[in-house]
Structure 1
């Protein structure tokens, strides 16, 4: 029995402990029930028109006099009576029998017309769209429809006229009208995309629109591009420099005036001088290579021997006697001993001074404070100096402007020079291979080769070589030289048995 009692006693679970100094634990352990209830009550009051202390008493209480039905009937009667009066006019010249009966008939017809419309009951899920009775609108309507009374109100009309008379308002309205018109025109000019109506196009319907439709064109164009790109049928986009010429030089250059069959003396001499300069340049290149290679080394007759080398290496050295050499060696030994003794003395003195310096006293607190104040004052002085220099730079604005203008001018000049160099570079052959471009020989006829008629003119130069050099000059063909085939090993020759002639056997036979 005692065991049963023990089993019935509930076991107390250990309370979970949290760190109180952590925001995470504060969020877990805090009780927000009261705060949530207060917020829910506030939202409920807002749904029903706001807090009670803020609402007027007319919205909460009303006086029940028992005349509600009578007032409704009277108001309804007055409405129909007013409508009847509007449509009915009494003609005094003619006799009218019963005026009241006529008014009642007109009122009944109007009532039938007004009540003939069927009232569709709204769904319950849509009843909350209009809000609860007495609740304020969450968003104030800006474009509110004006009533008939407001339109006919003379005060409102006067206010509107005053507002329209204001020049600022008129300018604002004009500006708004211009902006709306421009926006509309821009929207009309904007090309319509065929992708906007893709949702309305049924791919599986039997009725297919014409191929001129932008929707079909855009859709089919994408499919065609994808198919050509996947099947490698679409050509790659050409590079931007494809249409640009590799050089600014003309394809066919005009010949020199001195190359004519009957040139003037000055033109012929100028062309002859150009040919001479070209030949001199080639001779200089050959002489330079010869000077740097062959002429740097002596010939076999002037080659140095062992005797000449020994004589050249011992040039300027004195020929000393053996006694003098011994005296010099002794003097050198004495000098070395004296220098070693002096060095030892200096080292011993240095050790004494070092040991004396190592036993110095520590700095006092006053010395440290003074040193700290000195460093602080130096820092403040440097900061004040920098600030003063920075403030004084304000008066150097003109100088800075002049410097900026000067730098801009230099930049423009450099850009101009760079553009000229780039343009000049397009008129020269580029380096497309490891061989340097060499100009062809200037075609010139000597003085004794000049003739006075075309029949006796001899051709100068080669047309094929001229075109070939033109291609190289215009960067169409890279510069190249004629390659020679050189065998690394000696070629072996063997005679086949089928082609071998048996001369020995023939002779024996």
Structure 2
């Protein structure tokens, strides 16, 4: 059984309240459909031939005709195909063609060509008058004269200098750098010389050349799977890239959890107290228990604290056996060392080949690393500050949110933030670190009044506990 909601009566005194509480969705949908019909045309005005196709032949007959046409038509050459495509409009210019069906409101609009597009009758008359007066000939003469002057300047620049009176090392002289001649002395330290140089000629360190931002694309070409109506293959490729990225991030988080939180064992409070008591009592003597001192079986027997030890001497046979055993052990040890020397001599060639292979592998790896570093340095961003440039996260649209209509698409990112990060990735702006500011805790007070009830007080207290 459906529950009927109570109708809410809202004041519509002002225009703002009227707009807020009035449902005009049906009007907006009607206007949107009307605009769409203006752009694409009405279905009532279109003929049936554009909307429907009547199949007068069977599928088998169509296939037979297709095969006959394919056999009869000869394959065209590339030259013929190019000539046939000359008449067609290129795809790069299709976006410039008008797609709207809305007619021009001003039917009597004069179509004006740009200046210089086509000579008019008046322009032909003026050019004829100028040619008779000699104005055009004068312009041609001035242009020819300017070209001669430019060529003469280029020739002068290319001429070899015959005088060698310039000092190549003159720039290193202190006077050339702006240091006064009174301070050009070996007893004056360079700090004092630099202090007395004029500010505009101060010896400042030369900054590194700036990296050009022109080589990097201003707008990165997005993956085709981000489109509002992508193909299945492109969408699956993008999905695999996002899955790999997420797996990498999950693996990194698991590693951090394993080396930080997972290294420590969780114990209860009772186990912690027992461990502390056991650690603190290490080295202390155990408490004396008199019940363990008396043994009923050995009460009448006498036991010395240090019982006597019998000095049993070895006979000659035992000493001889011990000596022979030591000699045999020493002989086997020497025999093993000699055998290892012989095997090492045979292994010299193998060792030499393994060493040469390892050296060759190390040189190849070093060259690869150097090439990689050089490539990275060419395309590296300028070090504007100590912060790293944020990496671009892969965008992805859930298959349930995909729609074939641009009007129903929802924005997934912030355009301003995207442009800002793009400037950072291209090196135009310094990478910034996100600083999280602490939110100030705003204290809430209860304003007492004669209209306040107990339910209002309880509601305020519960809300305050929930926020804490």
TM-score scaled to structure 1, two decimals? 0.31
The higher radius of gyration belongs to 1
Higher percent of residues as helix: 1
